[in-house]
Amino acid sequence: MVKYALACKTCQSPFEAWFSNSDAFDEQNDRGLITCPECGGSDIQKQIMAPAVSGTKKRESQSVPAVNPDPKLAAMMKKVRDHIASTHEYVGKDFATRARAMHDGEADAKPVWGETTLAEAKSLIEDGVPALPLPEPFAPPKPVDQKKLN
């Protein structure tokens, strides 16, 4: 759903309306189906382009790893995954807390990997905490996932 701020060209009154997508506004407006709640006029224009995404919470990451046909790259990704899995401790959702504590000297520094939100990752980097985003193909399976597999 997209919310548009609209304005009536006849009486200048502003109003808002929801549309299923941006094309729906154009289509309905072309057919004169959108009318001004003040004067009933159908000469409507978009006030500003300010679509607001509605609905339930957006997922942080919806990226699906692409199947990569390059065997060299696939081997490299596996190497990275194996390396992380064998040398890094999985700390799950505690990643930001742990990385920050190590950076502040409140915890022993050791390689960890885990999950964090985009906002947390940004604030870590801004605070100079060494953290790197790990693209999906390079992330080893989480230990919990591994247990499920076995």
In the complex, the residues that contact Zn ion under the rule CB under 5 A are 8, 10-11, 36, 38-39, 41
Min separation Cβ 122 and Zn ion, Å: 44
> What one-letter code names the amino acid at 27?
E
Nearer to Zn ion, 38 or 89 (CB): 38
Q: E strands of 13-140, at which residues? A: 14-19, 44-48, 89-92, 112-114
- Specify which residues 2 forms β-bridges with: 19
Nearer to Zn ion, 45 or 87 (CB): 45
Min separation Cβ 50 and Zn ion, Å: 20
Nearer to Zn ion, 5 or 102 (CB): 5
As a whole number of angstroms, the distance between CA 99 and CA 109 comes to 8
Min separation Cβ 36 and Zn ion, Å: 3
As a whole number of angstroms, the distance between CA 138 and CA 31 comes to 51
